[in-house]
Amino acid sequence: MGMFDIFRKKKRAPAEPRAEKKPEKTAKEKATEAGEPYIAIVSMEIDPENLHQGAFELDWNDKFIANLVRAGYRMDAKDADSDIVDRWFQNVCRHVVMETWEQEQAINPTRYHKVKDIGDGRKEVS
């Protein structure tokens, strides 16, 4: 026996085949199988040169589109699913902006009014 024989690896018995692990279903797959609507923001990009410009990447299932149509979003023959989702998303964004504006108005209602002194202690507010 040589001096390095003690470092020899023992032979292992052949390993039993492992059961293949099924990949876990995504939230979209789970919702679709359950017949539920699904919408998610996949990514968001902002233009580093112009922080006012950006884009969202959305993902959805057919049930979400069907719900939009039932809710009154028009689906013309020339429209792709992405067109109806785009109209819905623009509407959501519009509501967020309007809600923010209304809250600002409630906090400071004179902020957007012009006040003009017309003399004799009177002011014109528009």
Render pLDDT for 114-124 as a digit per residue (tens, 0 to 9).
Answer: 778 888 888 88
Helix (H) or strand (E) holding 58: strand 50-60
Query: What is the value of pTM for the model shown?
Result: 0.64
Angle of CA points 100, 102, 108, to nearest 5°:
105
pLDDT at residue 32, rounded to an integer: 97
Q: Which residues 6+ apart lie within 8 Å of 26 measured at CB?
A: none
Residue 41 pairs with which residues in a beta bridge? 58
| Domain-embedded: residue 13 | no
Q: Which residues of the chain have pLDDT under 70?
A: 1-15, 109-113
Nearest Cα to 58, choosing from 84, 23, 35? 84
| Domain-embedded: residue 79 | yes
| Domain-embedded: residue 35 | yes
The domain total for the chain is 1
Residue 39 pairs with which residues in a beta bridge? 60
Listed in sequence order, the DSSP H helices in 1-126 are: 27-33, 62-70, 81-107
| Domain-embedded: residue 126 | no
pLDDT at residue 81, rounded to an integer: 92
CB 63 within 8 A of CB 32: yes
| Domain-embedded: residue 44 | yes
| Domain-embedded: residue 77 | yes
| Domain-embedded: residue 120 | no
Q: Which domain holds residue 40?
A: 26-110
pLDDT at residue 121, rounded to an integer: 80
| Domain-embedded: residue 119 | no
pLDDT at residue 63, rounded to an integer: 97
